[in-house]
A and B are shown apart, each in its own frame.
Chain A
Amino acid sequence: MWNKVLMSTAAALVGLSHAAHAQTTPQSITVAYYGGNWGEAFDACVAQPFTKATGIKVVAEIGNSTTTLSKLQQQTGEAVIDVAYMDGGISEIAEAAGVLAPIDLEKLSNAAALQPQAIYKNGDHAFAVSAGYYSLGLIYNTSEVSDVPQSWEELWNESYAGAVAIPSPNNSAGVPFVIFLAGAFGDKSETMDATFAKLKALDTGLLYDTSGAASNAFQSNEVVIGAHFNVGAWDLIDAGLPIGFTVPKEGVWATDARMHIVKGTKNADAAAEFIDTALTAEAASCLAERLYLGPAVTGVTLSPDVEKKLPWGAGGSIESLHLFDWSDVNTKRPAVTDRWNREIAN
């Protein structure tokens, strides 16, 4: 009789501890990241190793940064997404909107490897860590542009009139590109009049909204020179097209994809563990090999072929990137967009 009681008590205790365990270790977490080859890379380089190590499944919530931000704003109070990938710029807007939870870097075993630029703080707490960098460099058609362009000034070369592509403010790189050009051409005025006058004189073939539209235009020879993301440009080069990508003497503007823990998540520990997995050298080198995303952590060794395709180009480093203060860019965004609409997109 006592044996039976003991047995059933033990069984009940085991059952209870299982139930308690199930509460702390979720079966799955939801991570919002991008679609296409970016999503595939995040799945292979971060999500799968994370599931292998923890047994927690990763449910992908596909969408671009702005869509993810909208989703986070809709779900305040009842968080469905646990970890969100969003680009620089949108990251700051999300923090200001109060949809992010602080990231406790001390809890992350790999946080020490993060580059100092890769931690984004608001006051005393970190709200985002970088998942890797990409840049907007100079892309050109090697059969139409014989010498490697050394400067952004080359876009104004008469020979390429009507066949130049640059991002419009509808693209995340559009507004920062205008601010970058102002810096590159020494235009220090607040209104950037000289830069806008110069842009107005540029005979463009395409002011692109999406990176895909730029790739398409270079592929079909619609444009022969312009500004494009290192990731998109190297995809074209890898496909065997006569395309070159270079970092001109004025440098390149760059930004990053960032990871955030969502405010109100019920799986805060698993979310932190997911980010910790993404900060391993293995994950960073995997993303560098698949997307040419510049690692935000130290201790990553890559082949020379991948090295030259990184956002800073061959021999460069994170220091050679022009990383902007996004709060400043976001403040200037409405005015720059409005002026672009009136003077350039007309």
Chain B
Amino acid sequence: MFTSRLTLLWLLALPLCVFTAFFLIPLGVVFVASLTTQDGQFTLSQYGRVLLDGYHWQVIAVTFRLAILSTIICIVLGYPLAWYLVRIVKWRSWRRACVIMLILPLFTSNIVRSFGWMVLLGRTGLVNDALLGAGLIERPIRFLGTETGILIGLVYILLPFTVLTIGNALARVEPSLEHASRDLGAGPLRTFCSITFPLTMHGVMAGGIIVFSMAISAYVTPALLSGGKVTVLAMLAFQQYSTVFDFNYGGALSITLLTFTMALIGISSWMTRIGVHEKKGN
């Protein structure tokens, strides 16, 4: 027992050190900065400055709107894609090719992919050229510098995460449960809603949480696709650190973003748990 505990401690030591050095300490520094003045005195005024100002609430609303919409769209698009990969594709090599195609963009930097979208969504980009050519629009639609443009970029970058987690959950669903439901007279839709979807809920939740947390903290994609005309909280915090050099106010913005994100993720997992319990209770 003693030896195994010691081994466990040794095994944990390295990740624990890395976690402390590269996550806890920097986060602690940001947290302390957010609670102090430039002279090092304790103050809550930075939070007052952030939370008592309508402008910041407007930025928080834009940030959360983009993150929530990205999550919903990624799940709505990711579920059928995962279904196609797991349930429909019979040919193994094709499935493998599809998974590679899905994962491959993740090997490219966010900056490159966002620049790609800038070329596609621009005033004279491929999308506008195609729409103009087809006679669907008279003048180019403005995508860059709008929330729509940022949303397109975020969904493209984050979609693989939902497909992978939902696909994994779908593959684990016992086919006999669905067969039993059909045998008992339920149609395909009822079977999906009452059996398949609830059984894949943990995959949907996991994918949703990954997408949401990445979208809410995204900096590169919003910064490039906003053209400086839409502001999200991560951009505002970065600006304070990189150009205004107000680390205290920047720290308060960062901690506010973190707190709101954790709260929302907490609420959503709590609601899912309650939902599952109620289902079980029924």
A346 at interface by CB-CB < 8 Å: yes
Residues on B with beta carbons closer than 8 Å to the beta carbon of A292 = none
Cβ of A194 within 8 Å of any chain B Cβ, yes or no, is: no
Closest to B123 in A: A222
Contact with A along B35-70 (1 / 0, CB 8 A): 000000000000000000001001000000000000
A291 to B55, CA, bound (A): 41
Given contacts A205-B144, A341-B55, contact A220 B122 (CB under 8 A): yes
Query: Closest residue of chain A to B235, judged by CB?
Result: A170
Interface readout for A304-346 with B: 1 if CB under 8 Å, 0 if not? 0000000000000000000000000000011001000110011
A206→B228 contact, CB < 8 A = yes
Complex CA distance for A93 and B145, rounded to whole angstroms: 32
Among B115, B145, B227, B239, point to the contact of A337 (Cβ < 8 A).
B239
Task: Report if A333-B142 is in contact (Cβ < 8 Å); known contacts: A204-B229, A221-B123.
Answer: no
B115 to A216, Cβ gap below 8 A?
A: yes
B1 at the A interface (CB under 8 A): no
Which residues of chain B come closer than 8 Å to A333, judged between CB atoms? 243-244
Does chain B have a CB within 8 A of A152?
A: no
Using a Cβ cutoff of 8 Å, how many contacts connect chains A and B? 69
Q: Is B246 an interface residue (CB 8 A)?
A: yes
- Chain A nearest CB, measured from B52 CB (Å): 15
Taking the complex as formed, is A213 at the interface, i.e. its CB lies under 8 A from any CB of chain B? yes
Report if A220-B118 is in contact (Cβ < 8 Å); known contacts: A205-B227, A337-B239: yes
The interface on chain B, measured as residues whose beta carbon lies within 8 A of the other chain's beta carbons, has a size of 27
CA distance in complex: A66, B245 (Å): 10
B243 partner residues in chain A, CB cutoff 8 A: 66, 169-170, 172, 174, 333, 337
0 or 1 for each of B221-238: is its CB under 8 Å from A? (1 = yes): 001100111110000101
Interface string of B199-216 (1 = CB under 8 A from A): 000000000000000000
B230 CB, nearest partner CB in chain A, Å? 8
Chain A positions within 8 Å of B231 at CB level: 341, 345-346
A134 contact set on B, CB distance < 8 A: none
In the complex, B124 has a CB within 8 A of chain A: yes
- With a cutoff of 8 Å between Cβ atoms, the chain A residues found around residue B123 in the complex are 162-163, 205, 221-222
Interface pair A345/B142, CB less than 8 Å apart: no
Query: Inside 8 A of B229's CB, which chain A residues have their CB?
Result: 204, 207, 345-346
Chain B 132-161 interface mask (CB, 8 Å, partner A; 1/0): 000000000010110000000000000000
Judge if A168 is at the interface, Cβ distance under 8 Å: yes
Further pairs besides A206-B145, A337-B244, A341-B55: 10, Cβ < 8 Å: A170-B228, A204-B229, A209-B223, A216-B118, A220-B119, A222-B124, A341-B231, A341-B236, A345-B229, A345-B231
Lowest 4 A-B CB distances belong to which pairs?
A207-B228, A168-B228, A206-B227, A222-B122
Which residues in A have some Cβ–Cβ distance to B below 8 Å?
66, 93, 162-163, 168-170, 172, 174, 204-209, 213, 216, 220-222, 333-334, 337, 341-342, 345-346
> Would you give 20 A-B contacts (Cβ < 8 Å), ordered by A?
A66-B242, A93-B245, A162-B123, A163-B123, A205-B123, A205-B145, A206-B145, A206-B228, A207-B229, A209-B228, A216-B118, A220-B125, A222-B122, A333-B243, A333-B244, A334-B244, A337-B239, A337-B244, A341-B55, A341-B231
